[in-house]
Structure 1
Amino acid sequence: MTKFLSRAMTAALFAWACVACSSSDDNPADNTSTDAKYSAIEREYVLYFLDRNPVVATYLGGAALDAKLANVDGRLRDHSASAVAEEDKALANFKQRLEALDRNTLSAAHQIDRDVALAQIEFQLHLHQVRKYQERSLDTYLDEPFRGVDWQLQGMTDTGNGKYGTEAEWQRVIERVTAVRAYLQRAQDQLRAGIASGNTPDWRMLRINGIDSAVADAEYFQKTLPDIAAERLGGPQRDTLLDSVRKAAAEAAAAYESLHQFVASEFFVEVKNGVVDKAALKSAFQADRYAFGEAEYNWALRNNLRLTKPAAQLYDEAQAVIESTQREMVQLSRSIGQERNLTLPADDMEAVRVVFAELSKKAPKDDDEMVAWYRQAGERLVKYARDTGLFEMPAEYKLDVTVTPPPLQGSISGAAYYPAPPFKESGVGRFYVSPTKNKPALLARNNASALAYLAAHEGFPGHDWHYKVMTQFRNDIARVRWLTPGAVEDSSSMWEDSGAAEGWALYSEALMAEPQAKAPNGFYSPDERLYQLKGKLTRDVRVRIDTGLHLGRISFEQAQDLFSQVVDFLPGPCQGATDETKKGSCDDAFGAIFRYSKWPTQAITYRLGKEAILDLRAEAKTRAGDRFSATEFHVRFMKQGTIPPGYFREQFLAGF
Structure 2
Amino acid sequence: MSVRDYALIAALLCAPASLPSQASPQASTQSSAAQLDDFYASEWEYGLSHSPEFATYVGDTRFNDRLGDYSPAEIQRSEAHDVEALARFQAIPAAGLTEQQTISRGIMLRQLQMSIDSYRLKEWEMPVSQINGVHLDLPAMYSQMPFNNAKDYRNYIARLHQVPRVFGEVTTTMKLGMKDHLMQPRYLLEKVAVEAQDIADTHGMKSSFALPLAHFPVSITLAEQQTITHDLLATIEKDVLPAYVTFAAFVRDTYAPAGRTEPGIWALPNGDALYKQAIREHVQTTMDADAIFNEGMREVAEINTQMLALAKTQGFNDLASFHAHINADPKLHAISSDQLLKLYAGYEAQSRAKLDQIVPVVPALGLEVVPMDAFRAPNAVPADYSPGSTASQRPGRVNVNLYNPTSRLLLNVEAIAYHEGVPGHHLQFAFADTLQGLPNFRRYASYDAYSEGWALYAELLGKEMGFYQDPYSEYGRLQNEMWRAIRLVVDTGVHQKHWTRQQMVDFFKQHTAMDDQNIQTEIDRYISWPGQALSYRLGQQKILQLRERARIELGPRYDIRKFHERVLSLGPVPLDVLDESITRWIQAQKTASK
1:252 deviates by 1.6
1:126 deviates by 2.2
Matched, 1:260 2:248: yes
Residues 355-398 of structure 1: CA deviation (Å, up to 9, x unaligned): 53587525665443443333333333344555xx3333559898
Instruction: Name the residue aligned to 1:213.
Output: 195
- Measure the CA separation in 2 of the matches of 1:371 and 1:285: 38
Change (3 A) 1:558 1:286: same
1:461 deviates by 1.0
Instruction: Name the residue aligned to 1:110.
Output: 101
2:70–2:169 contact (8 Å) kept in structure 1 = yes
1:537 deviates by 0.6
Matched, 1:144 2:119: no
1:233 deviates by 3.8
Instruction: Name the residue aligned to 2:450.
Output: 500
Q: Which amino acid aligns with 2:184?
A: P
1:91–1:125 contact (8 Å) kept in structure 2 = yes
Q: Does the residue aligned with 1:74 lie in a helix, a strand or coil?
A: coil
Q: Which amino acid aligns with 2:68?
A: R
Among 384, 395, 400, the residue aligned to 1:416: 384
Instruction: Name the residue aligned to 1:248.
Output: 235
Matched, 1:60 2:58: yes
1:465 deviates by 2.0
Q: Does the residue aligned with 1:417 lie in a helix, a strand or coil?
A: strand
Instruction: Name the residue aligned to 1:43.
Output: 41
- Measure the CA separation in 2 of the matches of 1:482 and 1:398: 18
Instruction: Name the residue aligned to 2:171.
Output: 188
Matched, 1:546 2:491: yes
Q: Which amino acid aligns with 1:591?
A: T
- Measure the CA separation in 2 of the matches of 1:455 and 1:142: 23
2:327–2:513 contact (8 Å) kept in structure 1 = no
1:99 deviates by 1.1
Residues 391-422 of structure 1: CA deviation (Å, up to 9, x unaligned): 33559898653455667756765332221136
Among 91, 114, 121, the residue aligned to 1:131: 121
1:382–1:398 contact (8 Å) kept in structure 2 = no
1:305–1:499 contact (8 Å) kept in structure 2 = yes
Among 370, 374, 378, the residue aligned to 2:348: 378
- Measure the CA separation in 1 of the matches of 2:29 and 2:334: 60
Query: After the TM superposition, which of the residue ranges 643-652 and 544-553 deviates more from structure 2?
Result: 643-652
Unaligned runs of 5+ in 2: 1-27, 587-594
Residues 182-217 of structure 1: CA deviation (Å, up to 9, x unaligned): 1111122222223333333321232111x2122123
Q: Does the residue aligned with 1:430 lie in a helix, a strand or coil?
A: strand
Among 545, 548, 557, the residue aligned to 1:618: 548
Among 500, 508, 511, the residue aligned to 2:461: 511
Instruction: Name the residue aligned to 1:635.
Output: 565
- Measure the CA separation in 1 of the matches of 2:184 and 2:420: 32
1:467 deviates by 2.0
Residues 72-128 of structure 1: CA deviation (Å, up to 9, x unaligned): x33222122221222112111221121112335432212221222222222322222
Query: After the TM superposition, which of the residue ranges 193-202 and 254-263 deviates more from structure 2?
Result: 193-202
1:619 deviates by 2.0
Q: Which amino acid aligns with 2:439?
A: A
Instruction: Name the residue aligned to 1:478.
Output: 439
Unaligned runs of 5+ in 1: 1-29, 64-69, 158-164, 269-280, 338-343, 485-495, 570-583
1:149–1:177 contact (8 Å) kept in structure 2 = no
2:265–2:274 contact (8 Å) kept in structure 1 = no
2:385–2:396 contact (8 Å) kept in structure 1 = yes
Q: Does the residue aligned with 2:182 lie in a helix, a strand or coil?
A: coil
Query: After the TM superposition, which of the residue ranges 147-156 and 461-470 deviates more from structure 2?
Result: 147-156
Matched, 1:426 2:401: no
Q: Which amino acid aligns with 1:421?
A: S
Among 567, 570, 574, the residue aligned to 2:512: 567
Instruction: Name the residue aligned to 1:312.
Output: 290
Between the two proteins, what is the percent identity of the paired residues?
20
- Measure the CA separation in 2 of the matches of 1:74 and 1:306: 36
1:498–1:605 contact (8 Å) kept in structure 2 = yes
Residues 41-87 of structure 1: CA deviation (Å, up to 9, x unaligned): 01111222232223333333343xxxxxx11x332221222212221
- Measure the CA separation in 1 of the matches of 2:547 and 2:329: 34
1:617–1:633 contact (8 Å) kept in structure 2 = yes
Change (3 A) 1:155 1:628: farther
Q: Does the residue aligned with 1:214 lie in a helix, a strand or coil?
A: helix
Change (3 A) 1:166 1:219: farther
TM-score for the superposition, normalised by structure 1 = 0.76
Q: Does the residue aligned with 2:570 lie in a helix, a strand or coil?
A: coil
Instruction: Name the residue aligned to 1:232.
Output: 215
- Measure the CA separation in 2 of the matches of 1:413 and 1:166: 34
2:282–2:449 contact (8 Å) kept in structure 1 = no
- Measure the CA separation in 2 of the matches of 1:364 and 1:558: 28
Q: Does the residue aligned with 1:103 lie in a helix, a strand or coil?
A: coil
Q: Which amino acid aligns with 2:51?
A: N
2:370–2:399 contact (8 Å) kept in structure 1 = yes
Q: Which amino acid aligns with 1:428?
A: P
Change (3 A) 1:175 1:455: same
1:550 deviates by 1.3
- Measure the CA separation in 2 of the matches of 1:594 and 1:37: 45
Instruction: Name the residue aligned to 1:607.
Output: 537
1:178–1:248 contact (8 Å) kept in structure 2 = yes
2:323–2:513 contact (8 Å) kept in structure 1 = yes
Q: Which amino acid aligns with 1:510?
A: L
Residues 566-603 of structure 1: CA deviation (Å, up to 9, x unaligned): 2238xxxxxxxxxxxxxx62x54332111111111110
- Measure the CA separation in 1 of the matches of 2:48 and 2:296: 37
Among 586, 589, 593, the residue aligned to 2:523: 593
Residues 477-511 of structure 1: CA deviation (Å, up to 9, x unaligned): 43112446xxxxxxxxxxx4221221111001112
Among 522, 525, 534, the residue aligned to 2:479: 534
Q: Which amino acid aligns with 2:394?
A: G
Instruction: Name the residue aligned to 2:591.
Output: none
Q: Does the residue aligned with 1:391 lie in a helix, a strand or coil?
A: coil
1:544 deviates by 0.8
- Measure the CA separation in 2 of the matches of 1:48 and 1:643: 22
Instruction: Name the residue aligned to 1:26.
Output: none
Query: After the TM superposition, which of the residue ranges 189-198 and 141-150 deviates more from structure 2?
Result: 141-150
Residues 436-489 of structure 1: CA deviation (Å, up to 9, x unaligned): 67x5443xx23xx5432122112221122222222233x2443112446xxxxx
TM-score for the superposition, normalised by structure 2 = 0.84
Instruction: Name the residue aligned to 1:390.
Output: 358
Residues 260-299 of structure 1: CA deviation (Å, up to 9, x unaligned): 222334246xxxxxxxxxxxx36x8545563374433333
Q: Which amino acid aligns with 2:395?
A: V
1:606 deviates by 0.8
- Measure the CA separation in 2 of the matches of 1:526 and 1:38: 53
Matched, 1:330 2:312: no
Matched, 1:298 2:285: no
Change (3 A) 1:56 1:226: closer
2:365–2:430 contact (8 Å) kept in structure 1 = no
Change (3 A) 1:410 1:224: farther
Q: Which amino acid aligns with 1:260?
A: A
Q: Which amino acid aligns with 2:57?
A: Y
Q: How many residues align?
A: 550
2:290–2:492 contact (8 Å) kept in structure 1 = yes
Q: Does the residue aligned with 2:463 lie in a helix, a strand or coil?
A: coil
> RMSD of aligned C-alpha atoms?
3.1
Instruction: Name the residue aligned to 2:161.
Output: 178
Instruction: Name the residue aligned to 1:7.
Output: none
